[in-house]
Each structure stands twice: as C-alpha cells, then as structure tokens.
Structure 1
Amino acid sequence: MQINFLALLVAAVSTLVVGFIWYHPKVFGTIWMKEAGMTEDKMKGSNMALIFGMAVFYAFLISMILQFLVIHQFGAFGMVGGEVETAKPTYAAFMADYGTAFRTFKHGMLHGFISGLFLALPIIGTNALFERRSWKYTLISGGFWIVCFMLMGGIICAWI
C-alpha cells in the first residue's frame, strides 16, 4: 500500500484547527490555563512559530502510526513480507475483495476514538498524575487528543 503523505500532513494540521477551537477561552481555554498553571504573560514570551511547527511535526508522527491503526488493509500488507509484486496470489485476491472495505471517514473516526481513548488518554493521565495535575486538566487534554485522533483517523482512512 502506498502512503499518502499529503493526507498525513492534512491530518496533522487538523490538530491546530481543533486546538484553536478546543483551547479558545470560551470553550476550555480558560479552565485549561488555570489547571496548567499558564498565564497570558507566560504565553507572550513564547516562540509561537517554533511551538506550532513542532506541534505539527509531532502530530505528523502521530498520523504516521495512526494510519496503521485505522486502515485494516495495512494488516494484510504487513503479512506479504516483501514487495506486493512477489506476494502470494492470496494477497491479490484479498485486496481485490477487501481493498476498499471499511475505508470511510466514519470508520476512521471510530478507530481514532478507540486509539485516543486507549492510547492518548492513558498517556496524558499518567503524566498528569506524576505532574500533580487535576482531573480537569486530564479530561481537557485527553479529550482534545481523543477528538484529534478521531478527526485524524477519519481523514486518513477516507483519503489514503
């Protein structure tokens, strides 16, 4: 299977859009700032170009692994053990029958939700425990990544 880097980049950039809405002061931004110990003054002294650039880079890394979690056909591709051209005829038959099965935005969102709930939330939660962060911080940050994984999964599954 071919990797569509444009789809992965769009999925990565989508996290900025979600973050713009999610962390807006009228949504969760004010609560998050309080729970994270963040102030307007701390934010003003930041290199925002570097922060946003690295955020997209990290989200791109997430999208790279997320494609294997949301697209079932990558599992069959992984069993080939080499080039598709030298694969057994059963692989070609499988891809002919199921090559586009479960390749919808909705299905990608489902797998993105599962991945966010069972990967992102526990990571955020564990860090929050050791950083002595509140449950509000955990739910806001974990919820953000669950929504991002859902949107990224939908984009990746429908586009690749």
Structure 2
Amino acid sequence: MEFNYLAVFVAALVPILIGFLWYNPKTFGTAWMRHAEMTEEKMKSANMAVVFGVTLLLSFILAFILPSITVHQMGAFSLVQGDLGIQPSYETFMAEYKDEFRTFKHGAFHGVIAGIFIILPIIGINGLFERKSWKYILINTGYWIVTLAIMGAIVCGWR
C-alpha cells in the first residue's frame, strides 16, 4: 500500500483555500462574524502569520489521517503491521482489491460522512455550551463538510 504524500500535501492546502471563499464577506463571512461575535478589531489584533502557520500545520495533521477514513485498503494495511508482517494472504488481497473504491467520488463521500458524523457533533456540542446560534454551528459545520469532501476526494482518488 503506497502512501501518496503529494496528495496529502495538496489536501492540506484545502482548508485555507476553502476558508478564503467560505468566510469571505460575500459568502458566509459577514454572518459568521456576527454570530461568532467577531469584530474587525479582534481580527486585526491577531498575528495572522501565526494563525495561518498553525492552520497549515493542523491541516497537514488532518490530511495525514484522512486516508485511514477514505481509503478502505488502509484497514487491510493496518492489519499487517504486527509481528507476522506482510503475509501472502495480504498480497493476494491487495492484488485483487488494490484500486477498489479509490475514486475522487468515494473519497468525497467519506469526507461528507466524516463532516456530518464527526464534525457536526463536535462543533454542535461546543456551540451549545458556548451559547452560539445554530446559524454559527451550521456555517462552521458546512465549511468542514465541504472541506473534508474535497480533502477526502484528493487523498482517496489521487494515485
């Protein structure tokens, strides 16, 4: 099972690129600022080099783990990491199923599923305790669903 580091690198850029579009004032930026209680002054007070640098680092971490969510063969690969190593049965399995479900569409599907079943509950719980509106929760969750769909498509379909 080869690991595509270039796909992970490209996928790691997606959160920043989608963020520029998603949180732009012409899309959801104005509504997000209002519901996040964010002001221009708060935004200008941040060290944006640090914000974007840490965002990129965290995006790499996310992109690195996404193949385990989007690529079914990663499950089989994880089984051969023990003391026995790679057995002929694994070689046979990979020869037969190497490219099964390795499409952009399949990766996007798993990205959407991760967004709905992992991200929505996390952001929803935090938003409820932070007394944020459902609009705030849905704007942020929508961003992550779209972002994970694109990231999942890249890491699963790009071979």
Scaled by the length of structure 2, the TM-score of the pair is: 0.94
Q: Corresponding residue for 2:28?
A: 28
Matched residue, 1:127: 126
User: Gaps (5+ residues) in structure 2?
Assistant: none
Q: Match of 2:46, SS?
A: coil
Equivalent residue, structure 2, for 1:116: 115
What is the aligned partner in structure 2 of residue 16 from structure 1?
16
Task: Give distance in 1, aligned partners of 2:61 and 2:82.
Answer: 24
Normalised to the residue count of structure 1, the TM-score between the two structures is: 0.94
* 1:152 aligned partner, one-letter code: M
- Match of 1:154, SS state, is helix
Structure 1 Cα separation of the partners of residues 18 and 65 of structure 2? 20
* Superposed CA RMSD: 1.5
Q: Tell me, in whole angstroms, the C-alpha distance in 1 between the residues paired with 2:83 and 2:12.
A: 28
* Alignment partners' CA distance in 1, 2:132 and 2:95: 50
Structure 1 gap ranges (5+): none
How many equivalent residue pairs? 159
Give 3-state SS (helix, strand or coil) of 2:26's partner. Answer: helix
- Quote how far apart the aligned CAs of 1:83 are: 8.2
Counterpart residue number, 1:136? 135
Other structure's SS at 1:26 match:
coil
**Hey, what's the Cα distance between the residues in 1 that align with 2:118 and 2:17?**
21
State the alpha-carbon separation in 2 of the partners of residues 46 and 83 from structure 1. Answer: 49
